[in-house]
Structure 1
């Protein structure tokens, strides 16, 4: 990485005084590109912006007023992908001394979509040089680890106060092409096939989404990534779902926000947050709440 500057804050946490048990995570809508990142890139900023969940933070704009603690990434996904684990990289995408620690890449990592995004279709490599140890540690220490620490702290705080916590990890997605699993779905609720949340939460989230009049699926084709896998622990009273929203529902063809459609989805999301915040699951689901 080039010489360091003092960059702006990487994340923001909005914890209203009257917060409830819901924590909202918005990890991929950041639009700040630290100077180090732009200097290291071999592509222009417009190509890096293709990694973003463009403007989906606007959908969560009213979540704090609805009682949620909101943890929002301000730095762009190009710095580090907060929905990947620290070990998720392909060996060929990093400098030689790092390759041994990334020995079992999955499909996304092999495609260049690891904890540091390194390639995009029709774009090629994103960086002038492979990711070295210094560059990787800077990204993790400055952005990835603080984000997950903020989520963990927020979830611990609300669980301590209410006896349970609900995490909604909010994302947007491109339209699913014909022939692909989940084709036609405009909203996807993921719980890693029952691993990260109780059915009571998933059923309520899906019912709310269906009321938008759009096709909603569960876990197809996105079952949820590193964030809900890491923080969702139903046995400890922390339930987590990932919600994906088709960008065509709220963006114009040039990827700018359609104000009316954004407002429509923001109202829906605020109502969902408020609804979930008022739920009081049975004591046997959260035995800690009865102690």
Structure 2
């Protein structure tokens, strides 16, 4: 597998001063030429599954004292917010390994570790892939990415006695809350209370509301593999997924940033600062460190 760019990077603060790790696994927008040649989609259509510019929206993390891990590879190429081997056997020209999870809901929807589609059910590939290519992407991208994320979380936990992972994403502008018609600006996902303390989730909702945003919890996005896998509140490791509504900051047709993009990024920076202050205050009674 040959790519001519850095696959991912960690943007570090001068000194990590807060027990947070920020992660942007789906905002990568560098597409390997060989991948584009395999695709039936044009250069705009294939970008439909990106979390557009989320790395920039949360880009204040290092200034606030937290590391940020971000992908440069696109999620359409390999999705690190999945189990390592969620593979659709119908995508490949030869059998997938027996240990592959071929029956997950995400595989059924075309959104496994090697995605079959981008948004709006647009199929990516013109023909079937060799399974060896999928396994290569997993070995050379997926596993190193998660190794890096684990190290950041472990370092944070060791330094502060607990840690908070904020997994940063975006969602389509047409998302509505079932039964209400409400279009949320943000969704906070904590796997229905299993990946982070209720106090942390409620604080996030309160802060976003105070900034003038409509924020809801867990519906329709409760958090993906990363949130579920790394959130261990009983061990003092909390993971929240944050979804930002794309319609409030990007033109979803042209993918151009809206005029108020910088204002939104500024509001998110305020939110991030509020979260760090809340954790500093709340952790004093040790409840957050060992839920």
Normalising to structure 1: TM-score of the pair? 0.89
Contact 1:89 1:110 (8 Å CA) reproduced:
no
Shift of residue 44, structure 1, vs aligned partner = 2.1
* Residue 231 to residue 195, structure 1, CA distance change in 2 (3 Å): same
* Deviation sequence 1:243-264 (CA, Å, 0-9, x none): 001101111352211242x222
Of the candidates 114, 128, 139, which is equivalent to residue 130 of structure 1?
128
Question: How far apart are the structure 1 equivalents of 2:220 and 2:109?
Answer: 17
Note the 1:1-291 alignment, pairs <5 A. 4-19=1-16, 20-98=18-96, 100-102=98-100, 104-120=102-118, 124-177=122-175, 180=178, 183-184=181-182, 185-253=184-252, 254-260=254-260, 262-278=261-277, 279-280=279-280, 281=283, 282-287=285-290
Q: Report the 3-state secondary structure (helix = DSSP H, G, I; strand = E; otherwise coil) of the residue aligned with 2:196.
A: coil
Residue pair 1:66, 1:271 contacting (<8 A) in 2 also: no
My pick for the range that moved more, 105-114 or 276-285, is 276-285
Pick closer, same or farther for the CA change 1:236–1:103 going to 2, 3 Å: closer
Deviations 1:155-175 (A, max 9, x none): 111111111111110101002
Aligned-pair CA distance for 1:129? 3.0
- Cα-to-partner distance string for 1:136-189 (whole Å, 9 max, x where unaligned): 122112221122111111111111111111111010100235584774222100
- In 2, distance between residues paired with 1:123 and 1:285? 41
Contact kept in structure 1, 2:162 and 2:289, CA below 8 Å:
yes
Cα RMSD of the aligned pairs, angstroms, is: 2.2
Could you list the runs of 5+ residues in structure 1 that have no partner in the other structure?
none
Are residues 183 and 114 of structure 1, via their aligned partners in 2, closer, same or farther at CA, if it must alter by over 3 Å?
farther
Unpaired segments of 5 or more residues in structure 2? none
Query: Greater CA deviation, 22-31 or 103-112?
Result: 103-112
2:191 is paired with a residue whose SS is: coil
In 2, the alpha carbon distance for the partners of 1:182 and 1:216 equals: 14
Q: Deviations over 1:190-234 (max 9, x none)?
A: 000011001121111111111232321100000000111111111
Aligned residues: 284
SS, match of residue 25 in structure 1: strand
Cα distance in 2 for partners of 1:191, 1:25 equals: 15
User: How big is the shift at 1:30?
Assistant: 0.6
Once the two structures are overlaid, the 10-residue window that deviates more, 5-14 or 93-102, is 93-102
Q: Is the 8 A contact 1:10 1:142 kept in 2?
A: no
Q: Write the deviation string for residues 39-75 of structure 1: whole angstroms up to 9, x where unpaired.
A: 2222222221111111222201212111121000011
Q: Is the 8 A contact 2:187 2:217 kept in 1?
A: yes
